[in-house]
Structure 1
Amino acid sequence: MRQDRRMIRFAFASITLLSLVGCDGAVASPDGSLPPLEDGGVGRDGGEVTPDAGPGDPDGGMLPPGMYVDPMCTDGQYAEAPPPVDADLSDVMWTGEVGPYVDAVLDRRYPTGALLVRGGRENTRFGQDCDALFAGSPSSGEDVIDRIGVIVHECGHFHDLNLSSGPTSVYELTAELRLSCDRGDATDRGGDTFARSRINDDDQASRRAPCGGGGGRGCDSYADIYLDGDPDDGTFDGGDQGFNMLFEETVQYVNSLAVAWAFVDQMAPGRSTSARDGLLTFLWYVERYLRRARLEDPTAYARITDPCWRDAILTVWGRAWLFLEATEGMSALGIDDAALFELVTDPELLSEIERLRELEGC
């Protein structure tokens, strides 16, 4: 029931944000700047859409590993074929039904996303299919594609929730790979970790302080959504959740970038998304969480560096860098990603990932 309430909160928060979407699909702050949507949404600015779809291999070869992985360890050995970003969509017709259209375009451009959406529909606790719930009120196929990143991201949450049970968190990465680890939630929620919002108090937060609801570049709009609340006030906020849900968001932000790349040619000219920003932000959060756990919470650190969790972290780290490297320089897929890249690749924080590799024996 606790997980159900958590996902209901996510769903209704996202629906509320959908009601604020303007004609260009963006959510504007009072000052006109563009923060990210609740889960998997993408703010838009006037950046130029890059026509090149990136280095995908049309013959189905694997994406090259990123430079911030170790080729001799779990992260550097992760392999995945690129999405078929050039697959023809011209014969996919909009009939007014969200589900068939979503399935058709994802089957062609991002099959992993199709897997997550179909899995998310199996979660019937919210009275509506996840793709219909997060598609808004589309009147065309273009409207659906404009929300396809949100749909995949949120249906991914629904799917993982449906697979998870009790202390066990499950993460479906691809049709071939499913991760499952235990006791990753906060201690007051049946796990061994701490509230993710506690990283607000670390010495890294000031490098990109929370926006405080105002949005804009140079501040952290994601913190206002995901690191909210006070874990000691007895009132539940999303930021009270432990490492397992921080990791769940990271998993889904990889999908957000992958699906944005897969459909980049469908974007209207002059728009850009925060797909790279979202993923880089959550890699930064994972590094910071590891660091705080190591320095201040031995119980949490022992849990998230146990064989299961460290393998999961390194696997998703490797998958994330595949897509970050593949989309490097694609201005349509990032807004302030260059600044976030500098934070994530800070040697002090990268050393936290290296410690996991050492524990793995790499």
Structure 2
Amino acid sequence: MTRFHKFAAAAVLALATVGCQDPVDKAAKARIFSPEDPPKVVASAAEKLPPEDVAENPRVARRILSMDAAEVTERLGPHTYKATVSYEWSGAQGTIPSKLTETRTFRAGPGGVNGDFHGVLDNSRDQGLEVMRVGGQVYARNRYGTFRQRLRDRGMAERTRAELTGAIRDVDSLFRGRLQLSPQGTVTHEGRTAWRYVVALGPEGDTGVTPPALPALIEPKGGRDDTTKRRLAFFENRTPKSLSGEVLVDSTTSVVLKVRLDGRITVPANDAGGAAELRLVLDSALSEIGQDPQLQSPTDFLPDVDKPQGIADALDRFGIPRNKPEGATPGATPGAAPPDEPADEEGN
């Protein structure tokens, strides 16, 4: 090897050494080989939320009132949640009020955010749904249907879990974050010490939550339908008028243990309709805290499929012929090649 080649090899080695010491490369290697971060909900469950600060600190109040079911399970362990939500709409004098009552039941097993759970939602209009996750397998059905396994769940079970147990969060949102809590000492619930708060309708102002920046609504070509107009008018023009009740917050975990709320919201007359009033009543409580519900998978369920046939399967089951193009062969798949012609019975 000549002196030039020795010098070139030394230069390459020096550049490689300098490259390995580059701070960007070091940071990248540190990220790649670092331990995996825990799920966000686990980190949230480790946050200290002093329940005695609820009345004075809007941020703590909103965190406790909006706590997700997964975080509740991480903090509290297995438990059962039951809630009844009643809605009553009334309009102009002489109109018949419209009522709806929801019943929500949720049972959480051990294992925290990844544990088993079973949720049921029913209402007074004979509608509902049921979702469960057992051993990592998800099953779902409507009120009178058969369970179907959901191998490609895509977070449906977790979303349903959050919606079923988020009644107090929804009420607080409907009342524009004006749920005001006043401490009234401590009480005992399910053998646990809890802070008791009396609820009143608070003034407009800092709710401890920064609303997300949402994009503008996309207008349909033919304009909005009447139902959409009424819904948007309610959310844009709703005015909380009264709110009362009580909230019990666990002194150890800062989880809401029991809720009783009764409130009214009015909507002034507008282009979408006349004036209306909504009365909302919520009763919810946690029980069986620390008790494993021993959830079991359903024994009778349908397998997961790419696309259930739905109406077509029902027609076939009851022998009702489907509507087919003129000249189509019964049972033939659209676009498929025609079947072979049957052989002549006389052998011709």
Query: TM-score, normalising length from structure 2?
Result: 0.27
Larger % of strand: which?
Answer: 2
Relative contact order, higher structure (CA 8 A, sep 6+): 1
Larger % of helix: which?
Answer: 1
